[in-house]
Amino acid sequence: MKRSVCLSLATLGLAGALLPAALAAQPANPVTLSIFAAGTLAVPFRQVNALLEKKYPNVTVQAQFGGSVMMAKKITDLHQDADLLAVADYNVIPKYMFGNPAHASWYAGFARNAITFVYTDKSKFANEINPQNWYKVLARPGVEIGRSNPDTDPSGYQTVQMLNLAEKFYNEPGLEQKILANAPLTNMRDTETSLISALQLGQIDYLAIYRSDALQHHLKFIDLPAKIDLSDPAQSAYYQNGVAHTKNGDLAGKPIVYAATVVNGSKNATMAVNYVALLLGQQGQAVMKTNGFGTFSPAFAVHVAAMPAPLKSLVQPWPSS
């Protein structure tokens, strides 16, 4: 009994001695920035977070990553506090956040991506497949292809849109159906990243995923033509021909642009704006490029007038499609 009392007192004493030192280390006005972002942004954002924390020592960034729609719904439905939202498909912001009440009033596209297929040495026909014959190889019977759920995840419907475009691009009627036949419901998950382990274990041969993921996970990928892989905003008009039929309606193809916005009513709005500025600026864009994303110079934005002043100079209006 006596021993435990002594031990507790010793601990308290130690804590008491360290506390002033800890407090002294904290700069004035500590800020915790809460970011909700798409899963594929996990790696680059951690690097941007580090850059921000270095620039503003009083800031700690707490980031959560998951499906873009899930993250948006956490703000709109579950009323969780976030200062900044970054999504894999810029459409998610106007669709879920611009409603009534408006959780956001603008957004800026800060990175681009492409849809591709990744594979390993274990994959069927891995030694044969190339950018010219990929659509024939993937249509062969016995090939297992994984993808994410088009009803809930952007990469899911983007994959379907890409296949739709490919059918027209290569002039191969039935291409989309044949390839999708190798990607049945059983090979589907709500985000593509949860299928990476299935790919590595040989359960599936090919996985429809973003090029950034391919590079981050050091997986082999197929170089698809820019006209179908949704990577070039300049091709927006052409992309519209690729249609995905989902439970949320028929979705026309749009370029894959990652967008970010500051959540309305955020308590750390100033710092969130700083974050976006960093992201759109030279440093942020360099990070995105290193991680396999396409970049913008300058970024495109929607509702520029509603943007905070420091950001207006960093963007240009979104090209109307």
Partner 1 sequence: MHAKFTPGRAAMSPWRFRAAPSRPGALYLLCWFAGSVLIAFLVIPLIALALTQTWSSLAAIARMTDVRDAIMLSIEGAFLSALCAALVGVPLAYALARTAFPGKGVIAALIDLPLAVPHTVAGIALLMVFGRQGTFGQPLQSIGLKFWGTIAGIVVAMLFVSAPYTVNAARIGFEAVDPRLEKVARSLGLGPWRTFFRITLPLARRSIMTGITLTYARSISEFGAVIILAYYPMTAPVKIYELFLRFGLEQSAAAAVLLLIVSLSLFVLLRTLAQRGGQPQESR
Q: Which residues lie near partner 1 (CB under 8 A)? A: 67, 69-70, 73, 76-78, 122, 144, 149, 151-153, 184-190, 194, 197-198, 201-203, 247-248
- Sequence-separated (6 or more) residues with CB below 8 Å from residue 227: 165, 169, 235, 238
The token duo for 202 is 């040989």
Closer to partner 1 by Cβ: residue 72 or 256:
72
Residue 42 CB, shortest distance to partner 1, in Å, is: 16
For 160, residues 6+ apart whose C-beta sits below 8 A from its C-beta are 150, 176, 180, 242, 244, 245, 246
What are 217-223's contacts with CB under 8 Å, separation 24+?
217/118, 219/118, 219/119, 219/120, 220/118, 220/119, 220/120, 220/126, 221/116, 221/117, 221/118, 221/119, 222/116, 222/117, 222/119, 222/129, 222/130, 222/131, 222/134, 223/116, 223/131
Between residues 248 and 321, which has the closer beta carbon with respect to partner 1?
A: 248
Residues constituting the chain: 321
- Cβ at position 188, least distance to partner 1 in Å: 6
* CB 36 to partner 1: min, Å: 14
Q: State the minimum distance, in angstroms, from the CB of residue 78 to partner 1.
A: 7
Query: Is the CB of 205 or the CB of 213 nearer to partner 1?
Result: 205
CB of residue 197 to partner 1, shortest distance in Å: 5
Instruction: Give the pair of three-digit tokens for residue 218.
Output: 């050091």
Tell me how far, at minimum, the Cβ of 95 lies from partner 1, in Å.
12
Could you write out the DSSP letters of every residue in 151-220? TT-HHHHHHHHHHHHHHHHTT-TTHHHHHHHTS-GGGEESSGGGGHHHHHTTS-SEEEEEHHHHHHTT-E
Residue 71 or 228 having the CB closest to partner 1: 71
Distances, alpha carbon 160 to alpha carbons 134, 198, 216, in Å: 15, 20, 23
Asked if 290 and 307 touch (Cβ cutoff 8 Å), the reply is no
The rounded distance, in Å, linking the Cα atoms of 242 and 169 is: 10
Least Å from the CB of residue 153 to partner 1: 8
* Shortest Cβ 108–partner 1 spacing (Å): 25
Nearer to partner 1, 151 or 232 (CB): 151
Task: Choose between 67 and 233: whose C-beta lies nearer to partner 1.
Answer: 67
Which residue number, 20 or 142, has a Cβ lying nearer to partner 1? 142
Residue nearer to partner 1 on the CB measure, 75 or 108: 75
Q: Which two tokens stand for residue 96?
A: 């879920």
